[in-house]
């Protein structure tokens, strides 16, 4: 269980460093590093998509999952929750960047939430540690999250530290359920799941770089559907052949 703890601690410490000492970091680095993190998210997404087993499964899952997310307005609900977290933290710590527009703040906040909590590295790393005890993937992710938290806490302030809470909860659930879930999966299902996660990560990178401001959180249901759809598709293909 060391991986989720280290990963969450990296976000909390990084957020504290960024919020308290951000004025000592050169402005050029502050401006350019978020773009680099966006590129990193795109790169991780591409690497994950390359693992796909069945393109029809990945596209169908993404379409159905995104439609569900749009219907239930998932991002809107997450935005409301994020706003409450922001207000709670700002009772004890002043806004880091009071001139930032609320929409811009929430766009960035949700993008970082997805980057921290929904990345394939974090999901697979948690399950892998739960089965093998190897936390190396989550430790590597912690390095990236630490520096990401520093840079974004300069802009968003201490509320970035609260993102450690959903991340830790998700990783702990995956850690403890891994031994029950993994026997029900196969390599093809994991590959399709990784590919769907890769597309979500790629879209997140676009949003971080301000290329496209799409409600990426509405794509999250696709992650839940990926493995069941992959298994169903494999069963149908087997029957047809």
What are the per-10-residue average pLDDT scores of the chain (241 residues)? 92 93 84 85 86 93 95 86 73 63 78 78 79 80 90 87 90 84 82 87 84 83 90 89 71
All residues at 6 or more sequence positions from 91 whose CB lies less than 8 Å from its CB, including other chains: none
Report which of 119, 123, 167 is spatially closest to residue 10, judged by C-alpha positions: 167
What is residue 131's three-state secondary structure? Answer: helix
Helix (H) or strand (E) holding 129: helix 120-132
Q: What is the pTM of this model?
A: 0.78
Rounded to 5 degrees, φ, ψ at 24 are -90, -5
Whole-angstrom distance, CA of residue 175 vs CA of residue 3: 9
How many angstroms separate the CA atoms of 226 and 14, rounded? 32
pLDDT reported for residue 95: 59
CA–CA distances in Å: residue 175 to residues 139, 201, 223 = 14, 21, 17
Which pLDDT belongs to residue 149? 93
How many residues in the chain? Answer: 241
Rounded Cα distance between 121 and 118, Å, is 8
CA 38 – CA 44 distance, rounded (Å): 10
pLDDT for the residue numbered 37? 81
């Amino acid at each position: 269980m060391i991986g989720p703890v280290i990963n969450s601690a990296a976000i909390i410490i990084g957020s504290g460093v960024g919020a308290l000492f951000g004025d000592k970091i050169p402005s050029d680095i502050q401006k350019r590093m978020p773009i680099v993190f966006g590129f990193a998210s795109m790169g991780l997404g591409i690497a994950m998509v390359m693992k796909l087993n069945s393109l029809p499964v990945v596209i169908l899952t993404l379409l159905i999952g995104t439609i569900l997310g749009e219907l239930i307005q998932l991002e809107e609900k997450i935005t409301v929750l994020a706003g409450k977290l922001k207000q709670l933290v700002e009772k004890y710590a002043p806004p880091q960047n009071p001139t930032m527009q609320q929409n811009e703040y929430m766009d960035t906040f949700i993008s970082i939430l997805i980057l921290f909590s929904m990345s394939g590295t974090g999901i697979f790393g948690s399950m892998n540690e739960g089965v093998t005890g190897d936390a190396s993937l989550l430790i590597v992710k912690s390095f990236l999250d630490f520096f990401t938290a520093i840079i974004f806490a300069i802009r968003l302030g201490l509320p970035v530290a609260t993102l450690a809470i959903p991340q830790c909860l998700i990783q702990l659930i995956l850690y403890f359920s891994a031994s029950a879930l993994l026997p029900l999966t196969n390599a093809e299902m994991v590959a399709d799941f990784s590919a769907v996660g890769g597309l979500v990560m790629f879209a997140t990178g676009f949003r971080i770089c301000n290329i496209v401001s799409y409600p990426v959180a509405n794509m999250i249901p696709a992650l839940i559907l990926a493995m069941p759809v992959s298994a169903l598709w494999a069963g149908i293909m087997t029957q047809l052949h």
